[in-house]
Structure 1
């Protein structure tokens, strides 16, 4: 969870440190610059997925997860210690970019490896439930970041947060990584990886050559991820800024709305994952695809025109309920598509590429549309991405019935 905290704390506190690294321009321009750096971090995620996925498939899930936490903590510490633009000039945003590249590398490896590990360690008939905790940790990281933000907003005034207070959450993330490192060193390796390590398939483990034997599965992961990642980052990361800049709500109020909504969203993940163990994965994907395609545009239009705290919360909650159809089961669906020797790479690399191109740029695209005065087009963009994924959901097989994980356990 600490990696996701370190990743999302950047987005949560961007409104406070944007002037430290990008001092010129109006508020939207400064946020656009910080959003661009947020997107740049995503560009490293496919590289991280490739490197760490190969490492996880060849040397174990535990080893890869341990390495990823060290890299993420280093990035947070660098951001916390970097002087502002007024002190070191252009070096400030350059260092910020480099730190985010490190964090993107870490997170690229984290997703595929953790999704694989959770799926392999779960019991038969409960894999949807246990793998849903992949997004529990992800959302949990966001919640902790928001919780820290709320506490600091109560403790410090706006000027203090902008001057030095924004550095505190990055320090917390770096220190928290030490605890997570100790926990990961004591984890057990999955039986499926242990069995694979003893087999003849080990020589091809984690290679692109082996991955390319499953082109349909790779393309399925891309299609699965496209709409889900755009919707997720729109309804979480970007929505906070949308409520402030477009709806006109106070930062403190928006933080509380986000915290409560994400807490409920977190609780929904294992419930939906458990449901998928009983009814299959596709019904939940269809729920997300159809609802997201139809309701995204009217949902944002209503929020934009309401200027009401209650309406903003309810509409955000509706969006997160819709997204749950994807987030709760995406890890297990992808893991079921690949054999053990390329599972971490197969889950992580196509996911990382898709997130880098679409998820990581969602906020940037939204702010760009806003800067052009056509923010409404972004809502249609999100709905269109979800619709493309809906087509994939319709054409794919029910992964729980064709799962490589179950087939390997039976052999």
Structure 2
């Protein structure tokens, strides 16, 4: 079925095809980011299980260093799968990465701890995390291309906003599961075996994601390229040599969301446990409020970007983060009022959503179909590798170095300012690619 057939199909049939494509992309993305994010939710337990240290902060830093190192595998995976997706198809790569992520996450759940394997325990953990990072590098670009190449022009913002919504929902599922385990298991049980449960669940979730991704055809745009024999045999080289400026814009535009996601959504439970006196129930309530505010705001911000443009929404939200992050962290870190903590966290979650919702359509619209996967992979993954994946480590380090519980806010403020400046100084991305669906 060519692109022209999709466009000329009856509206009901066309909508059904788009719906199946979005479901395949979003559900698979949920699985990927549940798998990837659950690591942060069990960080304090992993510090005990996998690292021998008399200093709890040092052990926690080691856990987050392992978390961050995996992000250095993301660009490698992005380069590999991005190029493969432009040469062989988005659907094949998306099916492959969801299997890789699920298997590597499941592997963490069966690894021996330090007490059993000694120094080999953290080494094996690192290898599994590197495999997760390699897989994640191929997920975002493939899912971004897949959904935006199916979505009509007036709906790309709202439909692609479902990708970060799936990420946050995956984190919420992980947080809920860990809260249930924490409430029903003793600390010794949690350390002995309870922490493994979220990782073991990854395997059946991965099978669901794989099934859905195998049930949908590749995008009409990619199939049209293949049929016309116009696909690029060296898409990665073409991206780097011909798309450098828009890749740089994608890099800068990602900073607000990349740092915000990992400082606020992923790191928040550990942050609350370390700097406040909240119990596990209160930590879950605050984390849930942040994630729900984020999830609800995403389609609203995506729909707004469909009406007024991607750049204005991302820019205004980034400026909002510059202004609001410090006072929001003040409210969260006090630990004396659950209401204040929820308010501060929800504000951050909503603002980060507004930087995320238009981002994936914004990136897809900057690049031609023949190099879209590769170009998005390079710009997005490089940004997240350098500044997003290192965020929990840097936040923990800043708290220990400065003695201030507010220190992580400085990092997010700097990232948001960089995104606002990037978009202010460029006109790249204002023109929508004529190759994407227009009806």
TM range, smaller chain:
over 0.9
2:423 match: 393
CA contact (8 A) 1:289 1:389 kept: yes
Tell whether the 8 Å contact from 2:43 to 2:270 is kept in structure 1 after alignment.
no
Q: Which runs of 5+ in 2 are unaligned?
A: 1-29
Residue 154 of structure 2 corresponds to residue 154 of structure 1: no
CA contact (8 A) 1:204 1:341 kept: no
Does 2:268 match 1:268? no
**1:57 aligned residue:** 86
Query: For residues 182-261 of structure 1, what are the structure 2 equivalents within 5 Å?
Result: 182-204=211-233, 206-261=235-290
Q: Residues 127-175 of structure 1, C-alpha deviation per residue, up to 9 Å, x if partnerless?
A: 1111111111111111111121122123222221111100011000122
Give the 3-state SS of the residue equivalent to 2:366 in structure 1: coil
> What is the CA–CA distance in structure 1 between the aligned matches of 2:438 and 2:300, rounded to whole Å?
27
Tell me the secondary structure at the aligned position of residue 201 of structure 1.
coil
Closer, same or farther in 2 for the Cα pair 1:152/1:220, shift >3 Å?
A: same
Offset of 1:377 from its aligned partner? 4.1
Q: CA deviation at 1:26?
A: 2.9
Partner of 1:349: 378
The match for 1:299 among 328, 335, 338 is 328
Partner of 1:122: 151
Count matched residues: 409
Q: Deviation string for 1:171-223 (max 9, x for gaps)?
A: 00122111211111111211111111223431335322344201110110111
Give the equivalent residue in structure 2 for 1:18: 47
C-alpha separation between the residues in 2 aligned to 1:39 and 1:307? 31
Conserved 8 A contact 2:315-2:419: no
Q: Does the CA-based 8 Å contact 1:150-1:256 persist in structure 2?
A: no
Q: What is the rounded CA distance, in whole Å, between the counterparts of 2:425 and 2:229 in structure 1? A: 33
Query: What is the CA–CA distance in structure 1 between the aligned matches of 2:55 and 2:282, rounded to whole Å?
Result: 22
Q: Is contact 2:265-2:290 (8 Å) kept? A: no
Displacement of 1:14 in angstroms is 1.3
Matched, 1:284 2:304: no
| Maintained 8 Å contact 2:239/2:374 | no
**TM-score between the two structures when normalised by the length of structure 2:** 0.89
Q: How does 1:166-181 map to 2 (within 5 A)?
A: 166-181=195-210
**2:232/2:371 contact within 8 Å kept:** no
In structure 1, what is the Cα distance between the partners aligned to 2:230 and 2:279?
A: 56
Q: 2:34–2:173: 8 Å Cα contact kept in structure 1?
A: yes
**382, 403, 406: which one aligns with 2:412:** 382
Matched residues in 1 for 2:360 and 2:136: separation?
15
2:127 is matched with 98
- Cα distance in 1 for partners of 2:216, 2:412 equals 39
Question: Counterpart of 2:103?
Answer: 74
The match for 1:47 is: 76
Instruction: Provide the C-alpha distance between the structure 1 equivalents of 2:31 and 2:367, rounded to a whole number of angstroms.
Output: 27
Of residues 309, 315, 319, the one that matches 2:338 is 309
> CA–CA distance in 1 between the matches of 2:274 and 2:136?
29
1:20-53 CA distance string (max 9 Å, x none): 1013133322211111111011111100100010
Asked whether 1:4 is paired with 2:50, we answer no
Partner of 2:16: none
8 Å CA contact retained: 2:299, 2:357: yes
CA RMSD of aligned residues (A): 1.7
In 2, the alpha carbon distance for the partners of 1:386 and 1:239 equals 18
1:207 alignment partner, SS class: helix
Change (3 A) 1:156 1:18: same
* CA distance in 1: counterparts of 2:239 and 2:252, whole angstroms: 20
Give the secondary-structure state (helix, strand or coil) at the position aligned to 1:72: helix
* In structure 2, C-alpha distance between the alignment counterparts of 1:365 and 1:153, rounded to whole Å: 27
Could you tell me which residue of structure 2 aligns to residue 363 of structure 1? 392
Q: Which stretch of structure 1 is more off in the superposition, 353-362 or 230-239? A: 230-239
> Once the 2 structures are TM-superposed, how far is the Cα of residue 409 of structure 1 from its aligned partner?
4.4
Answer whether contact 2:83 2:374 (CA < 8 A) is retained. Answer: yes
Runs of 4+ in 1 over 6 A off after TM superposition: none
Q: Does the CA-based 8 Å contact 2:236-2:375 persist in structure 1?
A: no
Long gaps (5+) in structure 1 = none
Q: What residue is the counterpart of 2:117 in the other structure?
A: 88
Deviations 1:383-407 (CA, angstroms, capped at 9, x unpaired): 11211110112123373x5111x34
